[in-house]
Amino acid sequence: MSKTGFRAFAAGMIVATSVLGGTYLLSDNQSASADDEKNEMSQSDVESYLTSNGKIAITTGEYEELLAAKDKAVQQPAANNNSQQKESTSTENTTEQSKEEVIKYNLVVKSGMTTSEISDLLEQNGIIENSFNFDQFLIKGKYHQRIQLGTFAVQKGMTFQQLADVLTR
């Protein structure tokens, strides 16, 4: 490119920048703020949305009271269980230990779920003891590529292989 070509290119850049800058400075910026005003919601809008969806709004204080009541309710059954266990005889303890608790769970696998989410659900519901180990089993065995969508009946005591077979059908 010649010296004249570079000068023409530079002059074109200056003109284009000037036109864009002038357009920006002279344009009506109030239209952007008008859009923001349209997006603001009033308290009546929020209340009507909540009531139409069957929900309620509570204050932070009420929420904290509910959490405290929930924690108290969770702790009370644990205390009741401890006192009941102390009252039971040693023969009852041996029979309870010999019975293995059967936990059944219907696992729902939805589109987009990862194997770690599935493993976490199984661990939270007492089906498996370690979600990380089960997740690694699925990945190493390449089961993670074949997991099907749907609802699966699983129970505590199933091996990783049995769980993988159920999930992959």
Percentage of residues in the chain having pLDDT higher than 90: 21
Q: Summarize the confidence of residues 99-107 as an average pLDDT.
A: 76
Yes or no: say if 160 and 136 are a contact pair by the CB < 8 Å rule.
no
**Residue 43 has which token pair?**
């308290």
Q: 154 by DSSP, 3-state: which?
A: strand
pLDDT of residue 16: 96
Sign of CA dihedral 125, 131, 137, 140: positive
User: Which of residues 90 and 153 earns the better pLDDT score?
Assistant: 153
CA distance 8 to 1: 11
Give residue for tokens 């293995």: 100
Q: How do beta strands 150-155 and 104-109 pair?
A: antiparallel
CATH of domain 104-168: 3.30.1490.480
Q: What is the chain's mean pLDDT, rounded?
A: 80
pLDDT of residue 97: 47
Tell me the pLDDT tens digit for each residue of 29-85: 665 555 556 667 788 888 888 888 888 888 888 888 888 888 887 776 655 555 555
pLDDT of residue 98: 42
Give the predicted TM-score (pTM) of the model.
0.42
Q: In the predicted model, is pLDDT for residue 105 greater than 80?
A: yes
